[in-house]
Amino acid sequence: MVRGMNRRLVAGTSLIEILTVIVVFLVGILAVVQIFPPGLGVLRENRAKTQAIAMARAEVQRVLGQSAQIPERIVAGVFDTVGNFFVLSNSNPNEMNPPVDSGTGIGEMTSSGQVLDGGNPIGDWTKLTGANRITRVIGEGKPISQPTVINGISGSRMQLLFGPIYYQYDAPNNRSLGQVLSVYGNDLRRTQGSADNQNPNSAEPLYDTDSFAFVPGTEATLSGLTPAGFENKDQIWIGRLQDLGTNTLKSHAYRVSMSFVYNDGVTDRVVEAIFTAFPNIANAYYRELNNYAVISVPDLLTGSAFAPAGYRGVELASVRVQRIFQEVPNGTPFDAYDPYQYKPWNYALGTLMLNPAGANETVKDENGNDSPLMARVDYSVYDWRIIRDEFQVPGQIIATGFNPVVKLLANQIMPSSGTRVDGQPYGGIALAGDNFMYTPDLAGNLGSRDFVLMDLQSGGIIAGNSGVANSCYEVDKSSGNIRFKDTDSSDSLVVTGHIWVPDGTFGGWVDSGPVEIAGRRVQALYMATGEYAVQLLKASSSYNVVFPTAANQLAAGQCYEGGSNGWGQPNRLYFPLIDSGQKVTVGELWVAGYSEPVIRDRDLRIAGIESIGGVTVAYAELPAGVTFDASRNNYAVRRVEGASIKVRSFYNPQRFNMTSSTTENFERLARWTQTYSITQTETFDAGGNN
């Protein structure tokens, strides 16, 4: 009896109580789980932004490490059919969408991603959207370095900062097509021509080959030798170089940049353009008279969208002239007597081989002093979404079998087997058909790669990213790690691998054989998952202060003192829209309403935009209560220079799908661009080539 009583008194839990506890527990768990997705999303977003900032900072450090090569500016623009380049000064750097149809104003895009204008494809949307709206690099350069020997060829190597570059190959002539890539030298000194003083004299034996004379139309008849058809036209006279090997005068092409006034039949406006004057007397603009090449400025417009009849004059201070380097075809040696030559060594990735004769060449600067010959380059960035990740290959392989790992800037790398944000196949950093971007794999087969490792010493491609014996590295695309390994079993203390070195032909590469990779400076090229892009923006190195009669006459590289010529506010310094967001330094500001009559060396931010006469321009505002001094007779602003460079990093993990409707596709793309996350890093402008 006692035993039975004790069994009934034992504590227990009923089934109802257990079910109640389970329900309460599940309700609590569900409440907690609902908290996590937004929190995880915030963490992912913060991690992505942190990575974008790290990419921007790394790019700033990379560029500042080569500050002597920083370009004059980076702009938006278009080419005409004869290779001349026109700057789009009114481009908004904050506009993310591709161009709309120029006739209807309606945006259209095919299901394959081609943007349309007038029903014709003008390019893949990825090359016309976001960072890739502004891609033209102007005036990147430095003095020609001492030569080295690469693959048996002696030359002075130059690596462009923002490769890969856009390149077009003219197969029949074995050279570049057009002027998409333009290499040129120092600015020639400008002098004023005068018929009264017979300057220049085409028969003068002591001509100055480092200068040019601008002869206005009213003074166009010189020594009675002005070319037929050039009478009463603005002209440029350039002293020709002498070939010391043959004692003859050379014929070079010339780069002529300027801002000119053009009348379109309705109104005058200013156009900024970069012309290429080829040495062919069959051209309407070019003649040779004894010691001089003569260029008719209005006739440079022949064949462009601007008829010579609409030319109204040039802004003299904007005229700049340089000799263009001749591209030497494969198999042709450099001319020892002509330093103005180059070869596009690595066509797409931006490695140039310059004539070594230029390393010891000097030219006269504007003060008459000897300066080293520079090589400067205009080119178009192929795609700002390609990350340029520079580092040094680790020096040793540990004998235990541990291979060194380098962490790349990106946490995840887009694999070639993946899909783009629009659902289209990715395939690698080169678009289908852009064979100038193709690089060799380990076996030497050319194609588009999702990861390229370039040797900055030779401009070659380091063979790897494979599990086979001759691969000296492998990339973990899911973590952004690159692991190096030694391919030479006889020596375990260094990283030995193969480099495919350019042979000077288009698409031609030569295997270097086993070479030591350890310690080499390399550049990794890839795209990061999440539609990242890293873009450098730079305003002009210097600005001309001009006084146009209307806002549509303000061009890139110019600024205007508000109120000085009938438009604008007297407390604002105006710039073209493309300079919005930049910072400038002004040497002198003569003002009213300030404690002193002149403000010196003041930094101004071009932070505002204003619509004047239907044209949107940017401006920097003077301190509160301060206006320009009207008594200074339009000379209240002096010495305006670009003061900073900035790097923008883009990130957009969202996706969208294509349809059969071209207008719907464009609208979906426009909605997608609104979800860009953009960060900006700014630093002092340490360079820029004038």
Of 303, 323, 343, which residue is a domain's last?
323
* Residue 365 clears pLDDT 90, i.e. is over it: no
| Count of domains for the chain | 3
pLDDT confidence of residue 685:
58
* Residue 30 clears pLDDT 70, i.e. is over it: no
Shared domain for 417 and 499, answered yes or no, is: yes
Shared domain for 432 and 501, answered yes or no, is: yes
Mean residue pLDDT of the chain comes to 87
Shared domain for 486 and 554, answered yes or no, is: no
Q: Is 112 a member of any domain?
A: no
With cut-offs at 50, 70 and 90, classify the pLDDT of residue 677.
Answer: very high
pLDDT confidence of residue 220:
78
Shared domain for 591 and 690, answered yes or no, is: yes
pLDDT confidence of residue 396:
61
pLDDT in tens, 450-474: 999 999 988 999 998 887 878 899 9
Q: Is 194 a member of any domain?
A: yes
Average pLDDT of span 45-58: 87
Residues above pLDDT 70, as percent of the chain = 91
Say what the pTM is. 0.89
What CA–CA distance (Å, rounded) separates 427 from 449? Answer: 7
Contact (Cβ atoms closer than 8 angstroms) between residue 382 and residue 165: yes
Shared domain for 599 and 624, answered yes or no, is: yes
Tokens of 606: 């071009």
Q: Is 412 a member of any domain?
A: yes
Could you tell me the strand order of the sheet in which 292-296 lies? 189-192, 211-215, 235-239, 292-296, 286-289
Contact (Cβ atoms closer than 8 angstroms) between residue 47 and residue 39: no
pLDDT confidence of residue 485:
85
CB atoms within 10 A of CB 602: 16
Highest-confidence segment of 196-200, 277-281, 323-327: 323-327
Q: Is 157 a member of any domain?
A: no
* Residue 2 clears pLDDT 50, i.e. is over it: no
Shared domain for 538 and 678, answered yes or no, is: yes
Contact (Cβ atoms closer than 8 angstroms) between residue 341 and residue 329: no
With cut-offs at 50, 70 and 90, classify the pLDDT of residue 335.
Answer: very high
- Residue 276 is part of which domain span? 189-323
Shared domain for 480 and 571, answered yes or no, is: no
Q: How far is CA 171 from CA 130, 175, 176, 432, in A?
A: 32, 7, 8, 19
Shared domain for 391 and 519, answered yes or no, is: yes
pLDDT in tens, 561-608: 999 999 999 999 999 999 999 999 999 999 998 888 999 999 999 999
Contact (Cβ atoms closer than 8 angstroms) between residue 349 and residue 355: no
Q: Is the dihedral of CA 123, 126, 130, 132 positive or negative?
A: negative
With cut-offs at 50, 70 and 90, classify the pLDDT of residue 426.
Answer: very high
Q: Where are the beta strands (DSSP E) in 280-435?
A: 286-289, 292-296, 311-314, 320-323, 326-327, 341-346, 351-354, 362-364, 370-372, 374-380, 387-392, 405-407
- The larger pLDDT score, comparing residue 45 to residue 422, is at 422
Tokens of 504: 């000077």
Lowest pLDDT segment from 200-204, 382-386, 407-411: 200-204
Q: Is 256 a member of any domain?
A: yes
Shared domain for 549 and 635, answered yes or no, is: yes
- The larger pLDDT score, comparing residue 88 to residue 219, is at 88
Shared domain for 589 and 520, answered yes or no, is: no
Report residue 155 CA to chain centroid gap: 25
Lowest pLDDT segment from 11-25, 262-276, 491-505: 11-25
Q: Is 396 a member of any domain?
A: yes
Q: Is 211 a member of any domain?
A: yes
What is the enclosing helix (H) or strand (E) of 23?
Answer: helix 15-64
What's 528's DSSP letter? B
- Identify any residues that bridge with 261 across adjacent strands, giving them in sequence order: 270, 313
Average pLDDT of span 322-326: 95
Of 282, 297, 323, which residue is a domain's last?
323
pLDDT in tens, 202-260: 777 656 789 898 988 887 777 667 788 888 899 999 988 888 878 888 889 999 999 99
